[in-house]
Structure 1
Amino acid sequence: MTLTARRLAVGYPGRTVLADIDLEIPSGRITAVVGPNACGKSTLLRALAGIARPAAGEIRLDGIPLADIAPKRLARRIALLPQSPPVPAGISVEALVRRGRHPHQRWLTPWSAGDQEAVDAALCRTGLENLRARPLERLSGGQRQRAWVALALAQRTDHLLLDEPTTFLDLRHQLDLLALVTELNAVDDATVVLVLHDLAQAARYAHHLVVVADGGIAADGPPAEVLTEELVTTVFEVDCRVVPDPVSGSPLVLPLPATPQKIRAREKENR
Structure 2
Amino acid sequence: MNQLAAQRLDLRYGDRVVVQGLDLTLPGGAVTAIVGPNACGKSTLLRGLVRLLTPAAGTVTLDGSDIHRMPARALARRMGLLPQQPVTPESITVESLVRLGRYPHQRMLSPWSAADQAAVEEALARTGTDGLRDQPVDRLSGGQRQRAWIALALAQDTELLLLDEPTTFLDLRHQLEVLDLVSDLHAQAGRTVVMVLHDLGQAARYADHLVVLDGGRLAAAGPPAEVLTAELVERVFQVPCLVVPDPETGTPLVVPRARTRSAMPVR
TM-score, normalised to structure 1, is: 0.93
Q: Describe how 1:171-190 pairs up with structure 2 within 5 A.
A: 171-190=172-191
Which amino acid in the other structure matches residue 111 of structure 1?
A: W
Q: Describe how 1:135-146 pairs up with structure 2 within 5 A.
A: 135-146=136-147
Once the 2 structures are TM-superposed, how far is the Cα of residue 123 of structure 1 from its aligned partner?
Answer: 1.4
Alpha-carbon deviations, 1:66-86, whole Å to 9, x = none?
110011110000111111111
Once the 2 structures are TM-superposed, how far is the Cα of residue 260 of structure 1 from its aligned partner?
Answer: 7.8
Once the 2 structures are TM-superposed, how far is the Cα of residue 142 of structure 1 from its aligned partner?
Answer: 2.0
- Extract unaligned runs of 5+ from structure 1: 262-271
Alpha-carbon deviations, 1:160-206, whole Å to 9, x = none?
00011112333233222222222221222211001111111110110
Contact 1:145–1:167 (CA under 8 A) maintained in structure 2: no
1:230 corresponds in structure 2 to 231
Once the 2 structures are TM-superposed, how far is the Cα of residue 121 of structure 1 from its aligned partner?
Answer: 1.4
**Does residue 157 of the first structure (1) align with residue 141 of the second (2)?**
no
1:267 corresponds in structure 2 to none
Once the 2 structures are TM-superposed, how far is the Cα of residue 259 of structure 1 from its aligned partner?
Answer: 4.9
1:218 corresponds in structure 2 to 219
Once the 2 structures are TM-superposed, how far is the Cα of residue 124 of structure 1 from its aligned partner?
Answer: 1.6
The residue matched to 2:161 in structure 1 has which SS?
strand
**Does residue 128 of the first structure (1) align with residue 129 of the second (2)?**
yes
Percentage of matched positions with identical amino acids: 61
Query: Which runs of 4 or more aligned residues in structure 1 lie more than 4 Å from their structure 2 counterparts after TM superposition?
Result: none
TM-score, normalised to structure 2, is: 0.94
Distance 2:176 2:125 in 1: 17
The residue matched to 1:174 in structure 2 has which SS?
helix
Report the CA distance shift for 1:206/1:36 in structure 2 as closer, same or farther (over 3 A).
same
Contact 1:6–1:22 (CA under 8 A) maintained in structure 2: yes
Contact 2:143–2:175 (CA under 8 A) maintained in structure 1: no
The residue matched to 1:76 in structure 2 has which SS?
helix
- CA RMSD in angstroms, aligned pairs only: 1.4
- Extract unaligned runs of 5+ from structure 2: 263-267
Distance 1:100 1:238 in 2: 41
2:94 corresponds in structure 1 to 93
Higher mean displacement: 202-211 or 141-150: 141-150
Give the length in aligned residue pairs: 261
1:148 corresponds in structure 2 to 149
Higher mean displacement: 216-225 or 114-123: 114-123
Q: Describe how 1:248-263 pairs up with structure 2 within 5 A.
A: 248-259=249-260
Which amino acid in the other structure matches residue 245 of structure 1?
A: D
Contact 1:142–1:168 (CA under 8 A) maintained in structure 2: no
Which amino acid in the other structure matches residue 58 of structure 1?
A: T
